Amino acid sequence: MMDVIAESKTRVLQGRDERRNQTIPSQSPEERDRLVHAFHPDYKKEEYHRIRIGPNAGERTVREVAELLESDSSLPDNLDLTPQYRVDVLVVGGGGAGATAALTAKAQGAEVLLVTKLRLGDSNTVMAQGGMQVAITENDSPVTHFFDTLRGGHHKNDPKLLKVLVEEGPMAAQWLIQLGVLFDRDENGNLKTKKGGGSTQPRLLTCSDYTGLEIMRVLKDEVLNRQIPVLEFSPVVELLSDADGTCTGAVLKNMDNGQLIVVAAQSVILATGGSGRLHIEGFPTSNHYGATGDALVLAYRLGARLSHMDTFQYHPTGSVYPEQLAGALVTEGIRSDGGHLVNQDGRRFINELDTRDVVAAAIIRECAEGRGVKTPAGRVGVWLDVPMIDLLIGEGSIAKRFPAMVRQFQRYGMDIREEPVLVYPTLHYQNGGVAIDVDGQSQVKGLFVAGEASGGLHGRNRLMGNSLLDLIVFGKRAGVAAAQRAKEARVRKLTLTHVTRFRGELEKNNIKPARVAPIILPDYVRREEAPPPRPSRSLINQTPYRISPRSD
Ligand code: MEZ
């Protein structure tokens, strides 16, 4: 088998001169439609199920999400809900959207508590390696950014959300720069930009291939500097509501000792990210371990409508080999800088900067029709000819522009400056999520949602770099609106009435939940035996809001 791979690799090397000057046109709208309908996982009808209860009843989504929405709560109806914390704004999620929302709400004068499943910063934000889109160059404008994104999303984006995103983009970038994010600059000190798939202008601000990580580094520091209390290893297992169905807080679970923690809040912001760890349609994922779609199930049980839950993003270039890296991201920045996608025969088969759904569908087609390359572990992929970048723009470019990628493969003895890598689509992003308005307000009073957990902005296919912008722009808006609401709101009851009601609906519809959710962590990271309880390591900044420790 290694011989077959080596032979195919030789064809890749031999074809370089011919490919160098080859132009592959973008797909026409008709070709694009045909390709995605035939090969993109979003269009596999047999994988889709009808949602039977709740605000989206009657709509279709993938089996994994349908099961999540029809799952049971882990809590009994009669839990003691005496709160240990009482805050103005509870932010759930320690990624970019959560940190931004917390900082903004705090700047508005709100008492904020940030709680997160793993550590502050463990999130999909750091997976957006290749850049953040912002219209700042002379030939660009928010209008152009708007239409690129709309085309990329198959015209299914919520135009109100999209207008806010593109118009507030430059301010969001300015805010990050002021906080200390070190975007790449040219020799004159001007911000560098590059082009992402589906974009007509270069508008990606980058920090080599560490963009999301660099943004998260700065946001995390700022949360700590501003002394925002943070509870780590404390995922939300249920939201709380009053008799009117308004969100009034949440129940957390301390992952160290299993104890439940009740938090009363005037406003709750869900920023728990996406759902790659559901491994929809069996795909590997680029997502971090905590990406189990928690916001979807928490908000849904409380009555919030979801949007676009029939579409997911499969990033075209997930790593296929070595096996330890299966599903890990190989940034789109590589294709943006000239990396070619090449099939088993050494031929290019798609414009590498077409939109992600199109490129992913084209790779799946190549493999399905026998033009892919099999790995010893039985995976299949096509070549991403990374060394083409040094040939096209100069020796040393790969090392300089993609230090994270180089290091990622070096760990397994592979040098991407010298050899192509095998790639196949990996589950990367949830295009849909909890429906929000321009202030991040869901359909449930008191419940705000920001970042990947929310839905509608990206339509049926997100453009590269729009997620980093999304989480800053809408993290800020949710932070302001949640803090504002907290000023006006009154003290409300803490109940699990909505859980009782939801269980009633399950029963009435004869639905036996297939699982308990939020899932918290995928099954394969769950340990067989629970570790002995240990003192909690979760509180980072001492909080002034704690009411009293529980005696139980
Ligand atoms: O926005 C993204 O998903 C992104 C920048 C990913 C990447 O390929 O680097």
Which is the catalytic residue, given 86, 315, 365, 462? 315
* CA-proximal residue: ligand 1, atom 9 (nearest): 130
Residue 69 lies in a domain: no
Alpha helices in 180-235 (DSSP H): 211-225
Regarding whether 222 and 96 lie in a shared domain, the answer is: yes
pLDDT > 70 in the chain, percent: 95
Is-contact 209 130, C-beta < 8 A?
Answer: yes
Regarding whether 99 and 178 lie in a shared domain, the answer is: yes
Q: What is the 413 CA–ligand 1 centroid distance (Å)?
A: 25
Any ligand 1 atom below 6 A from CB of 128: yes
* 317 CA: nearest ligand 1 atom: 8
Any ligand 1 atom below 6 A from CB of 336: no
Any ligand 1 atom below 6 A from CB of 96: no
Regarding whether 419 and 293 lie in a shared domain, the answer is: no
| DSSP string over 305-364 | -EE-TT-EEEEEEEE-SSGGGTT-B--HHHHHTTPEEE-TTS-B-S-TTS-HHHHHHHHH
155 part of the active site: no
pTM, two decimal places = 0.95
Regarding whether 354 and 247 lie in a shared domain, the answer is: no
- CA separation for the pair 403, 334 (Å, rounded): 12
| pLDDT higher at 320 or 491 | 320
Residue 72 lies in a domain: no
Q: What is the 406 CA–ligand 1 centroid distance (Å)?
A: 17
Domain span at residue 223 reads 85-312+430-497
**DSSP secondary-structure letter at 38?**
H
Regarding whether 244 and 296 lie in a shared domain, the answer is: yes
Regarding whether 488 and 362 lie in a shared domain, the answer is: no
Confidence of residue 3 (pLDDT cuts 50, 70, 90): confident
Regarding whether 418 and 355 lie in a shared domain, the answer is: yes
- Per-residue pLDDT, 550: 35
Write the pLDDT tens digit of every residue in 473-492: 999 999 999 999 999 877 78
Residue 521 lies in a domain: no
Regarding whether 254 and 172 lie in a shared domain, the answer is: yes
Is-contact 88 102, C-beta < 8 A?
Answer: no
Q: What are phi and psi of 459, to 5 degrees?
A: 60, -140
Sign of the alpha-carbon torsion through 51, 54, 58, 61: negative
Regarding whether 418 and 465 lie in a shared domain, the answer is: no
- What number of H helices and E strands is found in the chain? 16, 19
Total structural domains within the chain? 2
- Per-residue pLDDT, 488: 87
Q: List all residues 6 or more positions away from 332 whose beta carbon is below 8 Å from its beta carbon.
A: 130, 196, 197, 315, 316, 317, 356, 464
Helix, strand, or coil (residue 207): strand
Choice from 126, 331, 429, 452 to test ligand 1 binding pocket (greatest atom count within 8 A of CB):
331
Nearest to 235 by CA among 212, 209, 261: 261
Regarding whether 257 and 375 lie in a shared domain, the answer is: no
Which is the catalytic residue, given 308, 335, 347, 379? 335
Q: What is the 132 CA–ligand 1 centroid distance (Å)?
A: 8
141-164: average pLDDT: 98
- Per-residue pLDDT, 552: 32
Can you give the CATH number for the domain in which 394 is found? 3.90.700.10
- Per-residue pLDDT, 489: 73
Regarding whether 487 and 400 lie in a shared domain, the answer is: no
| Mean of all residue pLDDT scores within the chain | 94
Nearest to 169 by CA among 127, 141, 148: 141
Contacts 24+ apart (CB under 8 A), 351-354: 351/24, 351/25, 351/26, 351/27, 352/24, 352/197, 353/26, 353/195, 353/196, 353/197, 353/198, 353/199, 354/26, 354/27, 354/32, 354/197, 354/198
Regarding whether 264 and 127 lie in a shared domain, the answer is: yes
Element spanning 484, H or E: helix 466-488
Confidence of residue 298 (pLDDT cuts 50, 70, 90): very high
* 330 CA: nearest ligand 1 atom: 8
Any ligand 1 atom below 6 A from CB of 131: yes
Give CA 180 to chain center in angstroms: 23
335 part of the active site: yes
Which position has the token pair 């095998």? Answer: 422
- CA separation for the pair 366, 116 (Å, rounded): 40
Residue 533 lies in a domain: no
* 429 CA: nearest ligand 1 atom: 3
